[in-house]
Amino acid sequence: MSDQQKGILAMIGAGLIWGLTPILYKALSHIPATEILAHRTTWSLVFFAAILGVQGRLGHIRLALTGKRQIALILAAAATISINWFIFILAIQIGHATEASLGYYIFPLVAVVIGRFVFGERLGPAQQVAVALAALAVGVLTWGLGVAPWISLVLATSFGLYSAIKKHLPVGPMVSVTCETLFFLPLGLGILTYHHGNWPGSGQGTYGTNLTDSALLMLSGPLTALPLILFAFAARRLTLSTVGLMQFINPTLQFVCAVAIFGEPFTQWHQIAFVLIWVAVAIFSIAALRQDKAARRSAMAASGVSTHVRNRASDASAKP
């Protein structure tokens, strides 16, 4: 099996896990979202630390936490991904999985906008059209439902900001996420202490009181960590455009879970908005593929010219 085939299989695996996790959080909808988030980050940390320990890379965590700028970036990444995870869990619990899937469809377009205004990146004509269609879709939902799709916007924006931060973080993905969950650990333990304590209004913590719920809470850790590992594996073996296209496995499966499994309402306003988003995604993806092909042709042409120049230089030096 070639590296590209392995990368495609890894990306499919990551998309399947991400896309089907709403089923897990729906099964835990009787547990407060804050408690689930605390378990998700805690067990993710345990899972990542175990893998780094087996690889003999635990020392990389200490190296990553050096320098004020790097620590600040990791803290910012921890904050944005925690917000993203919490809103996603809450959305599933309160019956807004459709909006959650919409958020992850919008995310690449939001990332483009962040790149334009934060990093000064230029938008091509196709990207401008795709962003405009996404904005129109949000406007349609806001008009039709009488309220902005805040869940979609928060998920897309938080993950877009998280991606932007990670782009400038000179740390590997596994070490980075381990550090992020490590920073969240004190807050997570505080949340669990509150839910398991005899505080006013705290209620009874779930973990340890029910075998099924306890197992599912522990499972949230590996189900968070494993797709990130698969994604990192795939990203090193596939072109950026291929990775971008295959990322849409995630929101597509989330959409199927929301409508076909959870039976969430899918109004005419949702239908119009999703059609606009799907068209925007298609335009965005086709443009990305063309850019990737053009970049590869340019690289091959440059390589050919370089080889030709070297050959001529070699021939010239060989002449008496």
User: Are 258 and 88 in contact, with CB atoms under 8 Å apart?
Assistant: no
User: Are 174 and 235 in contact, with CB atoms under 8 Å apart?
Assistant: no
- Quickly count: other Cβ atoms within 10 Å of residue 317's Cβ: 7
Looking at per-residue confidence, does 217 or 126 come out higher? 217
Q: Report which of 228, 220, 221 is spatially closest to residue 177, judged by C-alpha positions.
A: 228
Residue 163 has pLDDT above 90, yes or no: no
| Half-sphere exposure of residue 276: CA atoms within 13 angstroms, side-chain side | 21
Residue 123 has pLDDT above 80, yes or no: no
pLDDT digits 0-9 by tens, 129-139: 888 998 899 89
Mean pLDDT for the stretch of residues 298-302: 71
Residue 264 tokens read as 């969430």
pLDDT at 303: 67
User: Are 19 and 230 in contact, with CB atoms under 8 Å apart?
Assistant: no
The Cα–Cα gap between 152 and 64 comes to 32
The Cα–Cα gap between 236 and 227 comes to 14
Which of 241-245, 258-262, 293-297 reaches the highest mean pLDDT? Answer: 258-262
Q: Report which of 19, 10, 8, 11 is spatially closest to residue 250, judged by C-alpha positions.
A: 19
Residue 243 tokens read as 């990775």
Residue 309 has pLDDT above 70, yes or no: no
Q: Report which of 195, 114, 78 is spatially closest to residue 86, judged by C-alpha positions.
A: 78
User: Are 98 and 259 in contact, with CB atoms under 8 Å apart?
Assistant: yes
Which residue reads 């989330």 in tokens?
A: 254
Residues 6 or more apart whose CB falls under 8 angstroms from that of 229 comprise 51, 173, 174
Total count of residues recorded for the chain: 320
Q: Report which of 82, 97, 76 is spatially closest to residue 26, judged by C-alpha positions.
A: 97
Residues 6 or more apart whose CB falls under 8 angstroms from that of 107 comprise 155, 156, 159, 160
Which one-letter DSSP state was computed for residue 249? H
The model's pTM is 0.85
User: Are 249 and 17 in contact, with CB atoms under 8 Å apart?
Assistant: no
pLDDT digits 0-9 by tens, 71-95: 999 999 999 999 999 999 999 999 9
The Cα–Cα gap between 7 and 246 comes to 11
pLDDT at 319: 53
Given CA atoms 113, 114, 115, 116 in this order, what sign does their dihedral have? Answer: positive
Name the region of 17 (left: φ>0; alpha: ψ -120 to 50; beta: rest): alpha
Helix (H) / strand (E) containing 224: helix 211-235
Residue 219 has pLDDT above 90, yes or no: yes
pLDDT band (50, 70, 90) for residue 101: very high
Query: What's the domain count of the chain?
Result: 1
User: Are 39 and 181 in contact, with CB atoms under 8 Å apart?
Assistant: no
User: Are 18 and 220 in contact, with CB atoms under 8 Å apart?
Assistant: no
Residue 16 tokens read as 């399947």
pLDDT at 165: 86
Domain of 15? 3-196+204-318
